[in-house]
Amino acid sequence: MLPSTPAPARTLMRTVPPIAEPLTLAETKLYLRVDHADDDTALGRMIQTAREAAEAYLGRSLMTQDWQLDLAEGLEDAVWLPRGPVQSILSVQRIAETGTVLETLPTDVYHLNPPRTFLLPHLSIAEAVRIVYRTGYAAAEAIPAAIRQGLLIHISALYEGVGGGFPDACAALYASFRERRL
């Protein structure tokens, strides 16, 4: 018999992917100076690829999406919510060992800190906790210009077949927006 593996103390998973991309096909084609529809499908994939690469590099969500953070150790102190910017907390629930929801906590027992990066509980909970929250910029226009420019540069490199990886220019543009945990 194999020994049982303890459940991770902290698991994060996306529950709702973004329903839109941060760049439209039209603005991407304008940047690339493409005036035909032959490559529209490929460009759509490149827009998604550039967004996914940017989100992975930044550790942030660009467009609205939902995340679930499970904390096996319960809730006592401030909880950092990765993949921000955090728009809102959708629910905080106490979870039984079986994985079933014991209780959805009322919103008056927690709040987001002003930079909207931490959940601050007003009570201590010993059981496992599930936090479901919404992240990303509510509109593509709200994404900082440097990130949008980095996306266009990345798409241009993909379209032209230049280089095999993440462009250095993107890393430079994204540097000040990169999520860092000490």
Q: What is the DSSP string of 138-177?
A: SSGGGS-HHHHHHHHHHHHHHHHT--SS--HHHHHHHGGG
The CA angle 39-45-48, to the nearest 5 degrees, is 140
3-state secondary structure of 13: strand
| Sequential pLDDT tens for the chain (182 residues) | 444 445 568 899 999 999 999 999 999 999 999 999 999 999 999 999 999 999 999 999 999 999 999 999 888 889 999 999 999 999 999 999 888 999 999 999 999 998 889 999 999 988 899 999 999 999 999 999 999 999 999 999 999 987 668 899 999 999 999 987 65
The pTM for the full model equals 0.87
Which domains are delineated in the chain? 23-60+142-177 (1.10.3230), 65-135 (no CATH)
CB 46 within 8 A of CB 158: yes
